Structure 1
Amino acid sequence: MARNKYDVDEDLEIEFSWEYTKRLLAYVKPYKKEMIITLIIMIIASIASLLSPYLVKIAMDTSIPNKDIKGLIGVCALILLTIVIGAACMVYKIKTMTYVGQSVIKNIRTDIFNHLQRLPFSYYDDKPHGKILVRVVNYVNSLSDLLSNGLINLVTDLLSIFVIIGFMLAINVKLTIVCMLGLPFLILVVGLLKKVQRRTTQIFSNKQSNLNAYIQESISGMKVTQAFTREKTNAEKFRKVSDENRSTWMTAVRYQMLLWPAIDNISVITISFVYLIGVSSIGNGITIGTLIAFVGYIWRFWNPIVNISNFYNTLIMAMAYLERIFETLDEPVDIDNLPGAYKMPNINGHVEFKDIVFKYDDDGREILKKVSFEVKPGENIALVGPTGAGKTTIINLLSRFYDVYSGEVLVDGNNVRNVTLDSLRKQMGVMLQDTFIFSGTIMDNIRYGKLDATDEEIIRAAKAVKAHDFIVTLKDGYYTEVNERGSRLSVGQRQLISFARALLADPKILILDEATSSIDTKTEEALQIGLDRLLKGRTSFVIAHRLSTIKNATRIMVINNGQIVEQGNHDELMELKGEYYELYSSQYDMIKAI
């Protein structure tokens, strides 16, 4: 299914299972001490509140008829005490369970974030980032009420129901049986609504995900939107996805709300029968105090049932989100340390590709077709060719951002699949085509390549790539705050900072994907001097469309249609007068014409 669109609903690929509840409870388990204490306190509060109707019965049937003022004052004092106990217990419950609920949410969100960092590039290729973000933030937040109040309230309400039934049986068995006659009808209603409630909630979660994806996409592309005056068109698209979000929410709520009037009607009918039978039986084994006490209990009987129905609605909503959360947590980490993976020794930079075949899907087209080559330590390899030929795929396989379909990628004789990812990537400096600048200072952005680097090392790396000259002209120099993605910097400045970041780690293998594509000619000339010095002694792979930047490469490989069609140094390929000659000549003629 094409999932990489904001207007395509995501089908849930796993069936509902109560295992999700068990997994959720595993997050709650570390806080079982707080849960048990809170539960005991709430049981005490529940019992205290349930004494009130019985105390009213004593007042009505004993204290008032006997004009026992002391006894009446004592009963009133006990009722007041139950209110105070209930309020104190409620304060403790709110404080403790809010802490527990938010702690569980933090732990779930942390697990999702850590898991997302381990997922392969292919996961992000297939899914809009907004649909990922909604799972980490909105869906996890939706569990807040369930975790903060729902679980404790459920247990407390269930216990309350049994205690209330005990009190009612002690008062009058016949009226208790009448009160219980409404429960079968309630169970029938819940059974009928269960499936449709879950489905409508799932549909709403899809539309909420779509809305989030479109908002994220629109914000990321706002400059393009304004440049092409697409505001009205985008506003219409937003209105459509927003209307779908509202419509599905209203449908989900409509089915959720059906449970409340059902309970209300059943309870009112039941209570009416109790009144009818109770009033007609006064003086025949039932006193006025008994009837008032029983009615007090019957209202308390239906109150926890209403609470449980609210919990049920919350659970149905939460389960729809929980399914998405655990679907994300269960997303396979295709690129991971294999069993028995060992730490990559300090590398010299010898690289070998043996009969590499790569494709994104088993039934997809081959991106690389039996590619083989060998690179000796210290060689500077340039990869050139048309867009989509497979150049970036080669360096992605070397860094093991993707796994080969067949064949072997070797570094110093070690298959990259047999070594740990950290030990492999820490010895490589990678500057991808998509330059990313994080929010923070320029110093922090360069230090991202080596977290323990000193300020002097950072400045030295910046000078080497000719980034120092523009950095010192900024208001706060290296401590200038930049926005996410470096929006206040030019594209060329962002590339220079990213280049300094890659070089700071002093890698044995350096990978540059279009590293100089957005740097002006003057800067490029200065940068080339630094590059020649920095590339010396390390194996490097450079992808460049601007062929003038790779004339001094040890070897140039021309990639086309997933194969190496030509290779050699600049002079050799120019003499060959093949594809490289045509590419270089066409660029030269274009520059000359300008």
Structure 2
Amino acid sequence: MSETKDTFFDFKLFKRLFKFIKPYKLVFFSLIICVVLLAGLSAAIPKLTEFAIDDSMTNKNPKDFVFYVTLMFAALILQTIFQLLFMYYASWLGQNLVKDVRINLFDHLLSFKMKYYDNSSVGVLITRAVTDMERIADIFGQGLFMIFRDLLTMTVVFGVMLYTNVKLSLIVLIMLPVLLYATRIFQKYMKKAFEEVRTEVSNLNSFVQERITGMKILQLFTRETIEHKNFKTINERHKKGWLKTVWYNSFFFPIAELSASITVGLVAWYGGLNVVLSDTVSQGVLVSFIMFIPMLFSPLRQIADKFNTLQMGMVAATRVFKVLDTTSHIDDSGNQIATSLKGDINFNKVHFSYVEDEEVLKGISFNVNAGETIAIVGATGAGKSTIINLLNRFYEIKGGDILVDGTNINQYTLASLRNQIAVVLQDVFLFADTILNNITLNHPEISEETVVEAAKAIGVHEFISSLPNGYHYNVKERGVMLSSGQRQLISFLRAYVTNPSILVLDEATSSVDSYSEQLIQNATDKITKGRTSIVIAHRLATVKKADKIIVMDAGEIVEQGTHDELLKKENGYYKNLYEVQFLQEKVA
């Protein structure tokens, strides 16, 4: 779907949007009825004015005059009522449609592969889910229905004008083509300008989001001045994009006002002469035409104005649907429910690469028996964490098989498989919420009592209770109110309360203090007992207790065995790693 397609209205795009309107069809068609009534009432008021002047004032008939004035007053009241209903329910429809589209988009984002997020800007996605959505709401609240109302009003008004006086109507037509041409040129350039604006808004959001998230790094490396200059550059582009829209508006609207004023002048001149000299035009007709002209020209000017809103909405909708059209989902066609897994794991000649032709895992094979604790060690980039990502099916493997309890993990439903695997990461992510909600993640079957019992079992209840409001303490965004060790403990408790069949500790103790490490080590002993556990190792104590150690280097398994077995290998990879890294910890 092209964002630059030069059409006044993208019917294919609207057809997609209309699918979301279907639940609100009654409101949609009621709005159309309102538009028709408003157009009729708009044309009726000048016509009643004409009758009041010609039939009552000229003939000095006060009774008829009061009658026409009463009808005009009633028409104005009805016009106000229908205008209020129209404005409210047009916006109501837009907001409800956007609510449904946003839910659809968020559900879509929840199921994307991790690879999609690896290659996508968070700021851009936030723009799609928030700012662009508001522009879509404006398609209905301030764009489409407004344009339809104005077009219908113009059609009805001009029809009445032709019926009333053809010659005066032709005079009005003299300036109309000029305004129509100006409107067409205006909408063409405004569409391009708004596409540029939306691009710059996305770039600005992305830039600000990343810099705020990484503010500590910027300050640590004194990048403030450089980033200030970068921000001025991107902000300047954003300003220039908006100024283009201002520039086009500055040209168009004075032309529209001038066209309307010239038309009023021509009608007043020609109609006035006919009133005075030939009496072929009545005073009422002349007054009604002067009232009709703004009704004809103002909607045309407003159409151009509302077209800006419509174009922004269409560009935003195009970008949102581009995300919705993205097929980046892990295949979830498995039909087996993983419940109470024993925990047998088998990697059989597994190949994987994040980037095409750059293998991270080069045909690795290993087995983990149910209830075993294995440790995976190796240098950074060896492929240790990738094994965990593949076990959870965050990425699709390139070749080979991964079996759990003798069943290919592709045959399990994604949700049931991941429910059986709990992961504690080195980089803990906590939401801006209470400790309790960060532990349960709002799981309805995990009660506060269960969390408290689990915390007591692994020895972190005292730490949580010491915080203000205890388990209801709000840790703020990314858990900034807690230390790295405390965040790690919360993450560990989060994994523990799910009672997983398979536990994964990915460098879980690498960034904690010695006190927190001891708590986690005690908890590890408790939770791993009788449960399949995979430990991506950093600390010596965990590695030594493992039933088996898998040593990786450059995407391959170079050694396997227990701690003692691997130390007996002359010039072994693990032995060298132990002597360089782990022996220092032992001495310390």
Q: TM-score, normalised by structure 2?
A: 0.92
CA deviations over 1:479-524 (Å, ceiling 9, x no partner): 2222121111110110111011111111111111111112223432
Query: Partner residue of 2:580?
Result: 586
The structural deviation recorded for 1:369 is 0.9
Q: Does 1:95 align with 2:122?
A: no
What's 1:3 paired with?
none
Measured against aligned partners, the alpha-carbon deviations of 1:34-88 in whole angstroms (never above 9, x if no partner) come to 2322332343233223222112222322312211122222222222222211112
Partner of 1:435: 428
Q: 1:188 to 1:360 in 2, by over 3 A?
A: farther
1:300 pairs with 292, 295, 299, which one? 295
Equivalences for residues 27-66 of structure 1 within 5 A: 27-66=20-59
Match of 2:465 in 1: 472
How big is the shift at 1:256? 5.0
Q: Distance in 2 between matches of 1:226 and 1:292?
A: 70
1:24 pairs with 2:17: yes
User: Secondary structure of the residue that 2:535 maps to in structure 1?
Assistant: strand
How many Å apart are 1:207 and its aligned residue? Answer: 1.4
Moved more, 542-551 or 221-230: 221-230
CA deviation profile, 1:133-185 (whole Å, cap 9, x unmatched)? 11111111123332224333223222222211221111112222332344444
Alignment-derived partner of residue 487 in structure 2: 494
Question: What does 1:277-288 correspond to in 2, within 5 Å?
Answer: 277-282=270-275, 283=278, 285-288=280-283
Which AA in structure 1 matches 2:449? E
Counterpart in the other structure of 2:389: 396
Residue 274 (structure 2) pairs with residue 274 (structure 1): no
Distance (Å, rounded) in 2 between the aligned partners of 1:417 and 1:181: 71
Q: Which runs of 5 or more structure 1 residues have no equivalent in the other structure?
A: 1-11
Distance across 2 between alignment mates of 1:93 and 1:372: 66
**Which of 316, 324, 342 pairs up with 1:348?**
342
| 1:180 matches 2:173 | yes
Q: Assess, with a 3 A threshold, how the Cα gap between structure 1 residues 406 and 33 changes in structure 2: closer, same or farther.
A: same
Unaligned runs of 5+ in 2: none
Secondary structure at 2:371 match in 1: coil
Q: 1:475 to 1:57 in 2, by over 3 A?
A: closer
Alpha-carbon distance between aligned partners in 1 of 2:3 and 2:549, rounded to the nearest angstrom: 48
Alpha-carbon contact 1:427-1:508 (below 8 Å) kept: yes
Tell me how far apart the structure 2 counterparts of residues 580 and 450 of structure 1 sit (CA, whole Å).
41
Instruction: Check whether the contact 2:373–2:547 (CA below 8 A) recurs between aligned residues.
Output: yes
SS in structure 2 opposite 1:335? Answer: coil
1:321 aligns with 2:321: no
Q: Bigger shift: 440-449 or 551-560?
A: 440-449
| CA deviations over 1:208-258 (Å, ceiling 9, x no partner) | 112111221222123333444443333333222222211111123433554
Pick from 159, 181, 201 the counterpart of residue 166 of structure 1. 159
Q: CA RMSD in A?
A: 2.4
C-alpha change, 1:149 and 1:32, in structure 2 (3 Å) is farther
Tell me by how many angstroms 1:364 deviates: 4.0
Q: Distance in 2 between matches of 1:379 and 1:398?
A: 16
Query: C-alpha distance in 2, partners of 1:66/1:250?
Result: 56
Matches of 1:252 and 1:72, distance apart in 2: 48
2:284 corresponds to: 289
| Secondary structure of residue in 1 paired with 2:552 | strand
Moved more, 583-592 or 547-556: 583-592
- How far apart in 1 are the matches of 2:279 and 2:57? 21
Q: Which string of whole-angstrom CA distances, capped at 9 and with x for unpartnered residues, describes residues 389-427 of structure 1?
A: 111111100000111012211112222223211111111
Equivalents in 1 of 2:91, 2:189: separation in Å? Answer: 31
Structure 1 equivalent of residue 123 of structure 2: 130
Match of 2:147 among 154, 176, 179: 154
Letter paired with 1:351: I
Match of 1:563 in 2: 556
**Residues 449 and 501 in structure 1, CA contact (< 8 A), matched pair in contact too:** no
Q: Is the 8 A contact 2:539 2:582 kept in 1?
A: no
42-51 vs 304-313, greater mean Cα deviation: 42-51
CA distance in 2: counterparts of 1:369 and 1:556, whole angstroms: 19
User: Who is 1:8 aligned against?
Assistant: none
Q: What's the CA shift for 1:108?
A: 1.7
Counterparts of 1:509 and 1:188 in 2: how far apart (Å)?
A: 69
Letter in 2 for 1:343: I
Number of aligned positions between the proteins: 581
2:117 matches 1:145: no
Which secondary structure state, in structure 1, belongs to the residue aligned with residue 39 of structure 2? helix
Larger CA deviation: 195-204 vs 505-514:
195-204
For residues 214 and 89 of structure 1, the distance between their equivalents in structure 2, rounded to whole angstroms, comes to 45
Once the two structures are superposed, residues 72-106 of structure 1 have per-residue CA deviations (whole angstroms, 9 ceiling, x without a partner) of 22222222222211112222223323322221222
Percent same amino acid among aligned pairs? Answer: 37
Q: Could you say if the C-alpha distance between residues 419 and 325 of structure 1 is closer, same or farther in structure 2, counting changes exceeding 3 Å?
A: same
TM-score where L is the length of structure 1: 0.91
- Aligned AA for 1:342? Q
Provide closer, same or farther for how the CA distance between residues 494 and 250 of structure 1 changes in structure 2, counting only shifts above 3 A.
same
**C-alpha spacing 1:329/1:299, structure 2 compared with 1 (3 Å):** same
Q: Is the 8 A contact 2:142 2:309 kept in 1?
A: no
1:206 equivalent to 2:195? Answer no
